[in-house]
Amino acid sequence: MPKIRILVVSDVHGEVTALRWLLRHEQADAMFFLGDGLRDVDRAIALEQEQGHPPRWPIYRVRGNCDTGCPDPIEALAPFGGVLFFYTHGHAYGVKTGSERLAEAAAARGADVALYGHTHEPDLEKSLAGRPAVFNPGALLRGSYGVITVQDGQRSFGWRRVPPL
């Protein structure tokens, strides 16, 4: 099975320049967008398409607490390379006070990994005794995004930074 590279982005909060850089310069097979900036994502995609650079991968999206009026769901599931991802912004699970409720919700759905944003802080809690791994890419507003590699059901997690623009 080939190696799959997934970008994880959250909390753009108007930082369209960083998002455009990411869309143009990163290599990936897919991207999860975890909310708080859905209109920014739409704007960045439109601007990149105008420049002849449409996104090269699918973008899986959920809305955050600041994405009022957006029709996207607040949570969803997606499988990649034998790994099931549960992704959400996190506000509905009280992640600012801990990730236990989020991990329980992901486990109840059979997910191997739970992705969330909202706190603006990069974080990784590895899988333990039937509990899914829990990963936060940090906030693109602060230059942080996540990269997950999946191959043969195995996954690795990391963070990257957008260069100064």
Instruction: Name the pairing type of β-strands 144-151 and 75-80.
Output: unpaired
Q: Is the pTM of this model over 0.85?
A: yes
pLDDT at 60: 98
**pLDDT of res. 1:** 74
Percent of the chain whose pLDDT exceeds 90: 92
Q: What is the mean pLDDT of residues 151-164?
A: 94
In terms of Cβ atoms closer than 10 Å to its own Cβ (0-12, 13-18, 19+), residue 107 is middle
pLDDT at 153: 86
Q: What is the mean pLDDT of the chain?
A: 96
pLDDT beyond 90 at 129:
no
In the chain, the amino acid numbered 27 is Q
Q: Which domains does the chain have, with CATH numbers?
A: 4-161 (3.60.21.10)
